[in-house]
A = this chain, B = another copy of it.
Amino acid sequence: MLLDLLGVVYDGDTPTTGAADTIQRLRDAGLPLRFVSNTTRSPRGKIIAQLAAMGINVADEELLTPARAAVEWLRNHDRQPHLLVHPDLEAEFSGLQGGNRRAVVVGDAGEGFNYANLNRAFRELLAGADFVALAVNRTFKDADGQLSLDTGAFVTALEFASGRSPVVLGKPSPDFFLSALADLDCPAADAVMIGDDAEGDVAGALRAGLGAALLVRTGKYRPGDETRFDPAPTALVDDLAAATEWIFSRAST
């Protein structure tokens, strides 16, 4: 079972209703869990500490982030990163030796998405650097409860101006979903994804071959999202608890 974090397990700084109990129930039932987050603003340690403070214990190997996937990609391709990411995330990219060739890595830079930084990244792309996107999400539900511009908008801006297409390392990249299952010995067809993003979480997981993907009405969900993207969610449910009910009811039939 793969769970998105923001909008599914927590919303802003608080867990969604019943999230901690539901996750405990899943663990008690012996279901292997992986948390797949496109939140590229926080470092891994902070995410795990934040979850612990909400009463949800997640082991390091259970958490998949695009930053971790990107570090692996940079190592495998022998590239030095040009980072356009949140300052808090920069430390995760330290210690990369890298060759002479560079790769522009774009994450949720937040206020770092200003003209000067975007233009520097654009010029790196024109000069031949590779182009790595940690996510291509259009929007996220901000702390004030409203939707805000997410990484995908800025990745698209760079793509439009440079004529270059990014390698996407977070959701909805099929590789990202499959890497989350890699050490579970679980065929994709037996896995279920739960998310609040009908495009990145749900359609992405189904395209990667997962057996089911449930869309929750929490987080950034807006009425009509369930018909907005292809493939459509296997089911639309209220929240994480309802998603878990859906899974248990299926498992028992």
Contacts and interface: CB of A to CB of B under 8 A. Distances in A.
Nearest to A156: B160
Contacts of A146: 123
Nearest to A109: B115
A131 interface: no
Q: Is the interface of A mostly helix, strand, loop or mixed?
A: helix
Interface stretch (A47-55, A94-102, A147-155, A209-217): A147-155
Contact of A122 (B109, B149, B158, B161): B149
Interface in A102-116: 109-116
A186 interface: no
Interface residues of A, number: 29
A138 B110 CA distance: 23
A148 B160 contact: no
A172 to B, nearest CB: 14
Contacts of A153: 118, 122, 157-158, 160-161
A109 B146 CA distance: 24
A154 B148 CA distance: 15
